[in-house]
Amino acid sequence: MPRSRILLLSGATLTFLNISVVTQAQYPPSQGYYPPPCQAVTPGPVRGAARGAAGGAMIGAISGNAGRGAAIGATFGGVRNAVRRGSARSAGACY
């Protein structure tokens, strides 16, 4: 039961985070637009790891093991933000 709840909450969170990305993709930038540096557009992997650790500790505390949840959340958060930055760079949203 707790695993299904965690999977459901994780899926809902990822869905809500992607809504803003889809909205931005519908409107292309105007002419003469120069993309900003990636540091200004996307948070770095360390910030993602910190947010992931906080969220993972909270979910881990609910399930009974906050340390393990924080470790998993930090790993997932860091990788997620690194992938997000790489995707933004390859899509031309930043340089």
Of the candidates 17, 22, 26, the residue with the CA atom closest to the CA atom of residue 80: 17
> What stretches in the chain show pLDDT beneath 50?
none
* Confidence (pLDDT) at 46: 83
Of the candidates 44, 55, 64, the residue with the CA atom closest to the CA atom of residue 3: 64
* Confidence (pLDDT) at 25: 61
Taking the whole predicted model, whether its pTM rises above 0.75 is answered as: no
